[in-house]
Amino acid sequence: MKNPVRKLISCAAFYVLATQVSLAVDSFPASGPTVPGNEAQLRGGLALAPANAPVSVKRAIWAANQLRTKPYRYGGGHRTFHDSGYDCSATVSYALAGAGLVSVPLSSTELRAFGDRGHGKWITVYARNGHAFAVIAGLRLDTTSPHNPSRRWAPRWQPTSRTLSGFEARHPTGL
């Protein structure tokens, strides 16, 4: 009797998780601006997804575009994906949720264990205790930037790289 009950519980847990991810994906944009090729491009603060990228990568970019006018707020975006401000790990989580890769916002510590180790082909999450950012199709999604004239932290696409010292690179399986 234990086997059928255990199997039923496993199936129910899988259904709940799949439903949560499906509901999360449905609340993010399913379309947006694209550019030919394999690399995303930045125009006026808006990221254009590469036409050759998998749909999940495009959706991550289109989701993150929604945050480009939001302010930085420590702890913002962790109770719910839809908030008035976002911190670094919630910004990365928002993009990953738009791609259907997470169902709840993750902290920078949790992002250190996300997916697989190393750099991804399309998405790489960089995390350390206290900060996280992502590179998606060649563009950096981060809340810090030396190129921001106001010097204020905010969830934005960045045209330049940053030091990777102290960060762990992770990527979604297959991406």
Ordered by start, the domain boundaries in the chain are 2-171
Q: Does residue 14 carry a pLDDT above 80?
A: no
Q: Which residues pair with 170 in a beta bridge?
A: 117, 125
pTM: 0.83
Instruction: Please report where in the chains the tokens 């350390």 appear, as a residue.
Output: 128
Please check the confidence at residue 106 and state whether its pLDDT lies above 80.
Answer: yes
Which one, of 31, 27, 74, 53, lies nearest residue 139 by Cα?
53
Beta bridge partners of 135: 124, 140
Half-sphere exposure of 27 (CA within 13 A, CB side): 17
Strand order in the sheet with 131-136: 116-117, 168-171, 123-128, 131-136, 139-142, 156-158
48-77, pLDDT tens digit by residue? 999 999 999 999 999 999 999 999 999 999
Which pLDDT tens digit goes with each residue over 111-169?
999 999 999 999 999 999 999 999 999 999 999 876 555 567 899 998 878 889 999 99
Token digits of residue 67? 């945050």
Which of 13-17, 33-37, 47-51 has the weakest average pLDDT?
13-17
CATH fold group of domain 2-171: endopeptidase fold (from Nostoc punctiforme) (3.90.1720)
Integer Cα distance of 93 and 111 in angstroms:
9
Those residues whose C-beta lies under 8 Å from the C-beta of residue 159, and which sit 6 or more positions away, are 42, 139, 140, 147
Helices H / strands E in the chain, number of each: 4, 9
- Is residue 12 a contact partner of residue 19, using CB atoms and an 8 Å limit? no
